[in-house]
Amino acid sequence: MTAPDYGHVFSALRNSCPDEWAAYTQHSFVTGLGDGTLPRPAFLHYLVQDYVFLIHFARAWSLGVVKAETLDEMKVCAGTVDALVNHEMALHVETCAAVGIDEAALFGAKEEVANLAYTRYVIDAGLQGDFLDLIAALAPCCFGYGEIGLRLAREAAADTPYADWITTYADSDYQDVMVAVGKMFDAAVERRLGADYQNSARWEQLQTRFTTATELEIGFWDMGLNPA
């Protein structure tokens, strides 16, 4: 599988924080998913928290519909909300059901501080700022999991118990959606800041949004490794 092209805006943002990006996408939680050494309690703890994360993340993407300026932007945001609440959460529901955690328990799970910090940061970026602030804060989640899924699909141990998780994010339908999201991000930034966006007054602020969200992803993996 070739490396995915998630667009030039994402590449530029990622290149502005290489250390944080590596700490996120090569975190020991990720290594443990690939080689199968991640303890099951840590994985389930992560998955329950991630269910709650996706609920609030769907709210953040919904804000994208509100802040969009074109129909294409609205379509991508609305499509992502649909994918999240009607499809992506199925992995969480099915995996947890198999160990006796039902959906009501997932919905009512106590949200940990690292989880709350991340989603509320993204929602606030969109409330306080404009569409670009919102997508800069949303980007690490989309493209980071896209990169991780593809890398683990290539490198993971054949007998890792986390193959379903890896397949969810390596899946070509999922990758196609991420490529479409990347194209929309490129167009959204060029529309507002022009082709020379990296020299615009807004760029540093967008880099900060992206880096902060990347740091919050690192905190989410750390949280996963420490079941309460």
Active-site residue, from 77, 141, 142, 215: 141
Closest to 20 measured CA to CA, from 185, 208, 176? 208
- Residues 64 and 59: their CA atoms lie apart, in Å, by 9
176-205 burial, b at 16+ Cβ within 10 Å, e below that, comes to ebbbbbbbbbbbbbeeebeeebbeeebbee
- Residues 29 and 133: their CA atoms lie apart, in Å, by 28
Q: Kindly state whether residue 88 participates in binding ligand VIB, applying the rule CB under 6 A.
A: yes
Shortest Cβ 48–ligand VIB spacing (Å): 12
Footprint on residues 208-227 left by ligand VIB (CB under 6 A): 217, 220
- 115: which residues sit within 8 A by CB, 6+ positions away? 49, 52, 53, 220, 223
Active-site residue, from 73, 147, 215, 217: 217
105-122 burial, b at 16+ Cβ within 10 Å, e below that, comes to ebeebebbebbebbbbbb
Q: Is 111 a catalytic residue?
A: no
Footprint on residues 49-78 left by ligand VIB (CB under 6 A): 50, 53-54, 57
The residue (of 132 and 224) whose beta carbon lies closer to ligand VIB is 224
- Residue span 151-190 as binding mask against ligand VIB, x where in contact by CB under 6 A, dash where not: ----------------------------------------
Please select the residue that binds ligand VIB; options are 9, 77, 84, 122, rule is CB under 6 A.
84
Shortest Cβ 103–ligand VIB spacing (Å): 17
Residue 99: helix, strand or coil by DSSP? coil
Please select the residue that binds ligand VIB; options are 96, 136, 142, 189, rule is CB under 6 A.
142
Which span sits near ligand VIB by CB under 6 A: 15-23, 36-44, 141-149, 198-206? 141-149
List residues with catalytic annotation: 141, 217
